[in-house]
Structure formats: C-alpha cells, structure tokens
Structure 1
C-alpha cells in the first residue's frame, strides 16, 4: 500500500493533467472522490465537509476549532458584541455536529446567560407578583440593575409621572337606566368595589335636637369639591397627613367653619382657594375637571343610590383625618434603622408643610360624622 503524502507540491496543486492513474488530486481522506479543498492545518486535500469532519481527520479539525476560538477570545477580551458573535459561531458549529466543547472563558462572568434570554430579565410582573408592594425594599431588590438605573434617571429628570398610569376616579361611573333590568349581584359588587367603605354613624336625632341648617348641603358640596380636586392632584394615592394639610388649605368649611348659601359659591370658594394656595399648582383645566367631578359625585351612581358617592367622599375624608391624627401622635419613629431603599431615597419630609393642628382635626372629624348622619337621616336634594 502506498504511503499517502499530505504535503503536496506546488506543481501538483496547479497541474491540470487528467491522468486517471494519478492520485495526487484524489481526496486524501476517502481516497475516492476528486479533492476540492485543502486543510489549512495539516494541508491534506479533501472533497467535502463530511470528509473534513470524519474520524480520520477528527484530531486535526477539533484542534483547529479550539485554536480559532481561543484566538478570537484573546482578540476581543472586553468586547460584548464580539463575544456574542463568537457564541453565534459556536452555535453554528454545534448545529453542524462538530464535536467541540465551549471554552470555559465563555462560561465565566455570566457569558453563559447570553444564550438563555438572560434569566435576570424575567417579566417584571412574575418577579413581583408574590411581593408585598407596600414594601419598597422588597420591590427594589426584585429590580434588575438596568431597571434601577432607569428609575433613578426618571427621578433625576422629573419624568416619573410619565410611567405612572392615570388614575380613574371611582365616581365617574353612572348606572345606565333601563326599562327592564336584570338584577345581577356580581355586577352591583363590581360597581362599588373601588368606592371607599361607608362609615357607620348614628341617626342625627341621637346627636342633636337642633333643626339642621339649610346651608349644610352647600357646606358638604364645598368639602366634596375640595376632595375631588385633591384626589386628581395626587392621582388617587393620597398621604393621610399631607392630604389633610392640603384639604384644610382649600376647604373653607372644614378650615374656618365658613357656611355657604348656594352650590355655586361653595364650588367657587374651592376654585379661588386652590388658585391662591402656596401648596397646590393648578390651572383652568383642572378647575373645570373639579367642577365636573363635583357634579358627578352629587349625581351619584344611580337614582336609587343618589347619595352613595356623597357618603363615600365624607367617609374617606374621615378615614384620612383619623390616620393623620394618629400619625402625628406617633411621629417619633426616626430611630428606625435605614434599609437599602430608604438610604438611597430618603423618606419624604413635610418640613415645607404647615403644622397640623390636631385639635382642628378632631373638630373636623366630629363635623364629618354630623354631616354623614344628616345625609342618612334626610333625603337630601343637591
């Protein structure tokens, strides 16, 4: 048997001689087909990829692949784009059934995650679905580094509002009147699920024997107008203490016991107080929305439940003032250890707000209870 010589002379490569007896252009791996290629490593001539990957040539081809990979890694040590290209090359090799191990360099420093859609970027909803969303540190820990950076960037630019969904007030719902109506308890529950819980109050007769003033319903309107403006202003999320301070700043009936003689004056008072306020920044459009919201609250969700929204507003304000009163009593909690989120984003301070008069808050709570009893005891028409 003749000894196959893998190193062919230049004369043999360029020769166009077609002698059937010559084996110099025959594949050096299968010894059958005419060769078309030359291995750049061992210089053997071969006819196809199958021959190149054959067991006879395996040691050379595998070594060649490994050398190429290591050479590329050394060339692009800190270039993420190039590393991604190298991963793609390796994947193509694997798709061609090339028996080659992925180098350890690609399995370090998180490079193995490039091919797995990056497990860190699991959908945010899935990452926080079991968390207490009122715990800022738990939510902060669930964010990726990029998400944290994006959040801080929005804070620095003052664009946080651009990612906060617009709150839809619960009082905008109005039940459609139908001649024939199918009573559906589930539907009724859905209507009022976002409404504040109604506070239970005693009948007015148990509180006083004095005849109620006709101005009470106008005073209630002044409170409702103030409330709707503030709920829109805070996008539905209102802090008890801050909200109480803002409410007293624009609601003359609660702040100074002012009485009103008609609806227009009660609403206009809120307009003027908010425009003159040093705390609230409002405009003509916000004022028009406030007036429309006040009308919707007074109208109620239906004829049968026409006072439900009024009672819901007064109940919610009563809850806010109660929380504000309790918070002011327990405000000496500054000794708490600071968590990661608290250190990075210190708790909002209220130094810019006027001091909250607790005695006034207590008087307002009594007034709200009186108004609620009045609505429960009388069929009020606004």
Structure 2
C-alpha cells in the first residue's frame, strides 16, 4: 500500500516529544500518548484505545477510504494488491488498528488471529451446521456478542459475499455462425446450473390441450423463483424459501392465471410489495424482472429453454425438501434452547404454516410445467 498517501497511524515525531510527552491519551485519559490518529488527530496510547468504541467511527471510515483508494488504482502491482488483501483480512478480524513499535508486536497479533480462527474451525468441525443451537453453543461469549451486534445493527449482510446467479451467461446469436465450433463457455455455464429433473413427455402426461396461458403462468413461477434466490442470496432454506415463493407466486399459491408476460412478472413484484414478511424495494424488483428475462432467453438461442427447466427443477427440489423438513420437525421436540430463545425468528414462528396438501399440488404443477417446457418450449416470439 502506498505509504505516501496513507498511514494507519502516525507516531508522534521525536522533535515533538517534549511538547506531547505530558499529554494523556485522548481516548482512555490514563496513559501517556504515543501516537496521533492521521484522520482526527487525536492522541492515543495503544491499539486497544485506537479500536475502542469512542474512536470506532473515525478508524472504520479511515480504513474504508484507504482500501477504496488502493483498489481503485488499476496500476497497482501484485505486491500492493497482496498487501491490500492482507489488510482486508485483518480488518475482517478486527485486528488492524495502528502501526506497532516493532515487528514482534505485529507478528504476535497475526499469530493470535491464526490461533483464534483455527480454534473456531476445530470447535465447529463435527457439528451439524444446520443446527443453530449446536452452532450457538460452540461460540465464545465474545463471538456471541459480536453476532448479536451484527444482527441488531443490520450489518450482518456486510460479511456475506454477494451471490452470483447461475443464469447470467448468454451467448449472443450471430448472423453467420460456424456450427462446428465448440462453445466452451456455454458448457461451463451449464455445469453450474441446477440439475434437470426427469419428467415424462407432455403427450404421455395428458391428452388435454394446454391452455394458452400456460407460458405466462410459468413466467410467473420463474419470476418468483428468481426473486427468492436473490432474496436468500443463493442459499435458500427450504421451508422459508417455499413459503416466500408461495407468498409472491399467485399461480402456485392460488391458481391465478396470467394472460401476458408483463402481467405475469408484475404480479410477482406487486405481491412482494404487499407482503408483510418480505422487505424489498423497487430496485430489487427491477432486478427480478431482468432476471426473469435472462432465464427465459436461456444460455443461447439454440438452448433457450435450459434455464427455465433448471429453475423449475430447482424449485421442485426446494419444495420437496420443505415437505421432508416439515415431516421431521413434527417429530422433534418443541423445547427451545438458548439460540432459539434469543433469535425466535429462526424457528419460523413468525411465518404462516406450510400447508402439506397445497405443497403436494404445487409439486405436481411444477412437474406439469417441466413436462410442458420439455415438449413445447418457452418461445414467446
């Protein structure tokens, strides 16, 4: 990192010691000051004071500015980038705060980081990561307090990487194209898609002519799926994800029919805004509309239905897992452990009940839609 632009702390110059030695730390008011903050110029004595609550707003903003400027420098060499990444990691562990008097102090902090991370990894090694109470009991009091702070402050999403949807790739259609040319990028894109569920052909499934509205109804389902995947950042808890999907998908929830593509997507968006359980905004709903378009256009013109089939297959899997989970939950004890008492929402008591009969009908409908797409496709042209 360029030291000419930023220093994480400024040691008081020797020629100023005679003036500054008599001054106490401006944060703890107990010890003699040894450093000067480069941002607010307050005098302080130690790392603990620099990271203290009194100084947190200044130090955290200063780190962010340092990192933002360095990352914006496209001419930075590998060494600088590696240093920046090291700082990011240290910031995440809340162990970066100032320049140390010697290398031993600095190494000691890094060594303590490694031990802490290794200890946590060891504690979680044999636990069921889906059991919130087991995970909670494995944490130290400091870790529990930090988790509470993140939840109460609404900042927990800041430590979770943003999920990249699997439907983003699309190969533009060329006027003249070499059909013998292998598209490696498309093959790689298909590998990260959810596995396609095997269904019987539509002709064997039913002799009844499909309704003209079926494509629009499928689009309503796809729009709801796209929103749910983004809403849960790609990690969908089956029961809560299923309930969320039913809240916004009028076709699956109440057999509503849509008669044009715009209405099919707008219906899901409107129900998101009306829901008492979903927090979203218009910008997120615009993303949902674009995601629906990307799913419908597929990875390529020749393979345009693959994303639609993958999305319906994945939604069928989510609904199936929700059904299994509900069965298991009915057999387990209703006693609440420590985590359940502190964070009751994770037990879904704040959500409506999941109707088993409706869930079975939805699973059959999703199989019906998959069979239709497999036989007829989703071409709206």
TM-score by length of 1: 0.62
The reply on whether 1:164 has 2:163 as its aligned counterpart is: no
- Kindly indicate whether the alpha-carbon contact (under 8 Å) linking 1:221 and 1:294 is maintained by their aligned counterparts in 2: yes
The reply on whether 1:296 has 2:294 as its aligned counterpart is: yes
Partner of 2:209: 211
Distance in 1, Cα, partners of 2:163 & 2:128: 18
Please report how far the alpha carbon of residue 199 of structure 1 lies from its aligned counterpart in structure 2 after TM superposition. Answer: 0.5
Please report how far the alpha carbon of residue 323 of structure 1 lies from its aligned counterpart in structure 2 after TM superposition. Answer: 1.1
Deviations 1:229-261 (A, max 9, x none): 222122212111111111111111111111121
Deviations 1:170-219 (A, max 9, x none): 1111124564474265x444212331111000111111111111111010
The reply on whether 1:236 has 2:234 as its aligned counterpart is: yes
Q: Unaligned regions of 5+ residues in structure 2, if any? A: 1-30, 32-44, 47-103
Partner of 1:175: 171
- Kindly indicate whether the alpha-carbon contact (under 8 Å) linking 1:250 and 1:273 is maintained by their aligned counterparts in 2: yes
CA RMSD of aligned residues (A): 3.5
Partner of 1:103: none
Distance in 1, Cα, partners of 2:282 & 2:335: 44
Partner of 1:319: 317
Please report how far the alpha carbon of residue 148 of structure 1 lies from its aligned counterpart in structure 2 after TM superposition. Answer: 5.2
Distance in 1, Cα, partners of 2:138 & 2:353: 37
Partner of 1:63: none
| CA distance 1:116–1:138, change in 2 (3 Å) | farther
Deviations 1:90-148 (A, max 9, x none): xxxxxxxxxxxxxxxxxxxxxx9996445441188877499479626887798787655
Structure of larger gyration radius:
1
Partner SS state of residue 276, structure 2: coil
- Kindly indicate whether the alpha-carbon contact (under 8 Å) linking 1:121 and 1:144 is maintained by their aligned counterparts in 2: no
Q: 2:305 aligns with which of 304, 307, 310?
A: 307
Partner SS state of residue 329, structure 2: coil
Q: Unaligned regions of 5+ residues in structure 1, if any? A: 1-75, 83-111
Please report how far the alpha carbon of residue 380 of structure 1 lies from its aligned counterpart in structure 2 after TM superposition. Answer: 3.2
Partner SS state of residue 330, structure 1: helix
Distance in 1, Cα, partners of 2:301 & 2:290: 18
Q: 1:153 aligns with which of 132, 149, 156?
A: 149
- Kindly indicate whether the alpha-carbon contact (under 8 Å) linking 2:296 and 2:378 is maintained by their aligned counterparts in 1: no
| CA distance 1:341–1:121, change in 2 (3 Å) | farther
Give the number of equivalent residue pairs: 274
